[in-house]
Each structure stands twice: as structure tokens, then as C-alpha cells.
Amino acid sequence: MDMGTISLAHSYILCTDDKLAAPICRHQLQLNRSLSTQHSNHRKQLRIMFSLQFLLLALVVMNLALNSHGQTILNAPDTDIQCGDSDLTPSALLSAAQSCLSHILSGTTVGRDNYPHAYKDYEGITFPSGCSGHYYEYPVLNDDNDPYATGPPGAIRVIVGGVDIEKGTGAYCGVITHEGARAHNGFVSCQVEDQPDAPEGRRSERLLDLEPKVREREL
């Protein structure tokens, strides 16, 4: 009889009834039990692996949902901004503000200088009332679809303030640049195109026309 085909029950009977075959039978019985245990453990490992994969997928989907829903930039820019030698479009400014807010809400930073980080407003620039609270600065690249991620940040920063973590909102406060600043690493505010430059350390480019209205644009 082929011992590889003996079932556990038959092995038990043979081992108890046939003393001659008992040693072989007991070995086969132990082998069968070992194989059965291995198969059982393998099935458990597969179930655990699939469960972990499902959990990971659920976490990824949840994270994407949180990052794509409920984040709102208030006072969204709607005019081109002259910032030093750069002409910045509203979409480039909004892209930078959205990226800034996204990092604030998720608690992440990018680049060597860990953007977004706090802007202390040492220059005394006045921002719209909706921008009260902590200010954050974030590099602006003049590219509508490619917000800053790493490398040299350039001279221009978007300012986001009035962040409400629970509501997922933050306000676009204005744009500043190192270019033209008197102090080392200082800033001056940037201006709406075709408008006179404001004195350094005074009003931001959108203070007068933003206070009467609040514009929202979903990320």
C-alpha cells in the first residue's frame, strides 16, 4: 500500500492493529499531521496578508478622500500680480496657496527649509482681516500645474493665513518677495499689475478690494 495515500484515520487504525507497520505508520501519521498544520498555517498567513492589503488600500482611499475634499482657499486670487520681474497668474498663485494649505492640514513639509513655515511679518505688512492668526509662507513657481516640491524655492512667497483645521479652510493673503527688499532676507509686498507700488512694510496688494468680499474656490 502506498503510505502517501493513507489518511489520518487509516494510519491510526493501522498503527494500532499492525505492530510490524507501527513505526512506519506512526512516522506517516506525524508527517500527515505536520503537512496538515503547514497547510493550515499557510492559509492563515494568506488570510492575514489579504486582510493587511485590504486595510492598506482602505487607508490610501481614505487619505485621498481627506486630501481632496473640504479644503477651501478663501479670497482666491483673481488678478495677475507683478512681483519683481515676474508676472504671476491667478492660477499659479492659487496652486501655491492650495499646496500650502494641503501641507498645513496634513502636517507635512517640503524642501530643505520645511515649507510651509511660519511667516513672522517682521516687515509690518498689513494683510486683509480674513487673514488674521498665524501666517504661513510658501514658494510660488510661475507654473499653474506644478507647485513647489523641492529644490531652490526662489524669491517669491504666497502667504496663507486664517487657517481653520476643522473646516479645512485658509485664506489667500497676498504675495511677497525677497527681490527689492532692503534688509537681508527681508520681504516687500507684490502689487497688482498696472498699479503703483505700495511703500515697503505697508499694505498688501489686495487689502482694499478683498475686505468687502469673500471668494471661495474649492481645491
Active site residues: 117, 137, 178
**Phi, psi torsion values for 126, nearest 5 degrees:** -95, 130
Nearest to 139 by CA among 163, 111, 107: 111
How far is residue 121's CA from residue 161's CA, in Å, rounded to a whole number? 12
What angle separates helix 22-68 from helix 8-17, to the nearest 10 degrees? 160
What is the biggest distance separating any 2 CA atoms in the chain, rounded to whole angstroms? Answer: 109
**Phi, psi torsion values for 57, nearest 5 degrees:** -60, -40
**Cβ count near 155 (within 10 Å):** 18
C-alpha cell read off for 45: 498567513
C-alpha cell read off for 151: 529644490
How far is residue 169's CA from residue 93's CA, in Å, rounded to a whole number? 16
